[in-house]
Amino acid sequence: MSKDCDSTMDRLSLYLDRELSEPEMRQVRVHLDDCPPCGKIFDFQAELKRLVRKECCTDDAPTRLREWVRKLAAQDPIQP
């Protein structure tokens, strides 16, 4: 584990969530490309994040609820 690995691991979640500044994003990206062990950890984290989103996005609102919201929006009475 080099110093670069340590600092990459500290910032891995921030990198994954795109919460770093552009120069820092670049720094981490360069290290991940250069260092297979760190790159692998990132790949797993990224894949797991994708998985959570994918699994949860299968639940769409029921048609009845959707219709109810549409009606509510349609009856918007604010007309000056």
Partner 1 sequence: MSGDFSGFEQHVDALYRSALRLTRKPEDAQDLVQETYLRAFRYRNRFTPGTNEKAWLFTIMTNAFRNRGRQHRVIEEPIDEPANDHYIYDQLRREGLPLHLMSPEQVIVDRGFGDEVKRALEDLPLPMRMVVVLVDVEEFSYKEVAAILGIKIGTVMSRLHRGRRALQKRLWDYAERPRSSRVAVGSS
Q: Which residues bind partner 1 (CB under 8 A)?
A: 9, 12-13, 17, 19, 36-37, 40-41, 43-49, 51-57, 59-62, 64-66, 68-70, 72-74, 76-80
The rounded distance, in Å, linking the Cα atoms of 60 and 9 is: 36
- CB neighbours (10 Å) of residue 42? 20
Instruction: Indicate the angle between helix axes 3-10 and 36-56, nearest 10 degrees.
Output: 10
Nearer to partner 1 among residue 25 and residue 41 (C-beta): 41
Nearer to partner 1 among residue 30 and residue 48 (C-beta): 48
Q: Where are the extended beta strands (E) located within the chain?
A: none
Query: At its nearest, how many Å lie between partner 1 and the CB of residue 12?
Result: 8
Query: At its nearest, how many Å lie between partner 1 and the CB of residue 58?
Result: 8
